[in-house]
Amino acid sequence: MPTRVKTFPMAQVLPGGFHMPTRMTALPLADGGLALVSPIRLTKELAAQVEEQGPVRFLIAPNLLHHLYLAEAVERWPTARVLAPRALRAKRPDLRIDADLEDALPPELASTVRVAKIEGAPSVDEFAFFHEPSRTAVLTDLLFHLTAPKGFVAHVTLWLVGCHGKLAQSRAWRIFVKDRTLAARSARTLLAWPIHQAILAHGEPIEGDVLARLEQALRWMTSGDGLLAPASNRT
């Protein structure tokens, strides 16, 4: 089974002219298929590039914010199983959702991928993923790593939330998080994974001293249980 995780970027402009690039991640599975995390807008060329990697088995909405292009992906790959946070059913009743991420992952996915919910922030309901063969973590809005923002609005917005030009967690999480103890435990679960690479939906991948950099970026969240962040001594 190939272990290489492939990503597909998309230039995205949010309301107000906020340039917020995003990306979809294709996780290779043991049967040769793919799980697509955070589907993006599809073109024929992009769909063909994805299908070159293998048949699409799963479509995953990783939180309550990354669902805008899910319907397009379902239309393109109707036999793929759709996984999402349970609360997305109420937010998007028009979407077909086959299973909730809060439940155990289907065996075909669980044999290759671990999942951890970032608890304590119900308005986001984010799930983090770990692709075991490649030792790659996949994160969505938990952290940003936009080193070269595009446009005035992006520069100002990222500066205001503390994410300008660096790996960081948006200050908006101080509003999202309603239970800091649960959020801290969730972050520690993620940091216990033997991560060698981290892929972010918004920003450049993280390579080199990955755990130390993740621990530093998540310091506010892990401090919520009153403990020191774990030392970066895992291999």
Q: In CATH, what number is assigned to the domain containing residue 216? A: 3.60.15.10
Q: Is residue 142 part of a domain?
A: yes
Beta-ladder partners of 19: 13
> Is residue 12 situated within a structural domain?
yes
Instruction: Kindly report, residue by residue over 78-111, the tens digit of the pLDDT.
Output: 999 999 999 999 999 999 999 999 999 999 999 9
Beta bridge partners, 13, equal 19
For residue 233, being part of any structural domain is answered with no
Residue 234's pLDDT band (cuts 50, 70, 90): very low
Block residue for tokens 């490649």: 134
Residue 231 lies in a domain: no
Q: What angle do helix axes 180-191 and 210-217 make, rounded to 10 degrees?
A: 170
Q: What is the pLDDT of residue 147?
A: 73
Say if 94 falls within a structural domain: yes
The reported pLDDT for the residue numbered 18 is 54
Decide if 114 is inside a domain: yes
Given a cut of 80, whether residue 163 has pLDDT beyond it is: no
Compute the CA torsion angle 169, 173, 174, 177 (nearest 10 deg).
-130
Whether the full predicted model's pTM is greater than 0.95, yes or no, is no
Structural domain tally of the chain?
1
Question: pLDDT tens digit string along 204-229?
Answer: 899 889 999 999 999 999 998 766 54
In which band, very low, low, confident or very high, does the pLDDT at 1 lie, cut at 50, 70 and 90?
Answer: very low
So what's the pLDDT on residue 158? 67
Strand-strand pairing, 127-131 and 113-117: antiparallel
Residue 45 scores a pLDDT above 60: yes
**For residue 235, is it within any domain?**
no
Backbone conformation region of residue 228, classed left if phi is above 0, alpha if psi is from -120 to 50, else beta: beta
Q: Is the four-CA dihedral 192, 197, 203, 204 of positive or negative sign?
A: positive
List, for residues 131-143, the tens digit of each pLDDT value. Answer: 999 999 999 999 9
Of all residues in the chain, the percent with pLDDT exceeding 90 is 74
For residue 1, is it within any domain? no
Q: What is the pLDDT of residue 82?
A: 98
pLDDT higher at 187 or 166:
187
Domain hosting residue 39, numbered range? 6-225
